[in-house]
Copies of this chain bind each other. A is one copy, B any other.
């Protein structure tokens, strides 16, 4: 048994044979778990649902990942790293130009990776954004600590970038506006519309990612740059 420890260190395991067109067991579990966790949440998703749909044995989850909690962590970590890296790469490119950045450029640097994610089924499509929004609300303690340690750089980079882009605002105002901005951006891509609780929203059901961006950018930029 080599998996429980090493799997976490090499989470992005490529499909190493073409003899069957199915991905290997661990990947199949990750894919199904990702979808079911998004659909029903962590607690409401049983290992039996996952293993059945993934067509693997029930014990395979504990063999490959150690526990249901560890499986969730693996599901999440498989996506978060590349996503954060993509955002930071956008920031790098912008800052290398040497020119002063606008709020709109910063907004787009976050939205572009979201958009790429939404359009690429191989990277989980829109699932990961929805998984993040569920995770945010479900408040997995263990996951939070891991993310705090690994990815706080994400917020730091954006914070200082926004402080330079909006020098007229103090640090506290910037924090509030980023809070609002990322909140609306994330929920837009996750498809979380409060109004859809009350009526069948035509906005959210027809979810062309490009349409989201088209309407989202002006809204967020205006909110960020509005005089106090």
> What residues make up the interface of A, taking CB atoms closer than 8 Å to B?
41, 43-44, 132-138, 144, 147-148, 151-152, 154-156, 172-173, 175-180, 182-184, 186-188, 192-204, 215-216, 218-228
Known A180-B215, A180-B219, A222-B225; contact A198-B147, beta-carbon cutoff 8 A: yes
CB-CB nearest in chain B for A183 = B187
Give bound CA distance, A222 to B219, whole Å. Answer: 8
Give bound CA distance, A154 to B197, whole Å. Answer: 11
- Across the interface, A188 reaches (CB within 8 A) one of B179, B193, B218, namely B179
Query: Which residue, A198, A199, A224, has most C-beta atoms of chain B within 10 A?
Result: A198
Give bound CA distance, A193 to B187, whole Å. Answer: 11
Contact call B134/A198, Cβ cutoff below 8 A: no
Give bound CA distance, A49 to B144, whole Å. Answer: 24
Contact call A219/B223, Cβ cutoff below 8 A: yes
Contact call A188/B180, Cβ cutoff below 8 A: yes
Give bound CA distance, A180 to B185, whole Å. Answer: 8
Chain B residues within 8 Å of A137, by CB: 41, 133-134, 137, 192
Give bound CA distance, A166 to B177, whole Å. Answer: 23
Contact call B215/A176, Cβ cutoff below 8 A: yes
- Across the interface, A195 reaches (CB within 8 A) one of B134, B155, B215, namely B155
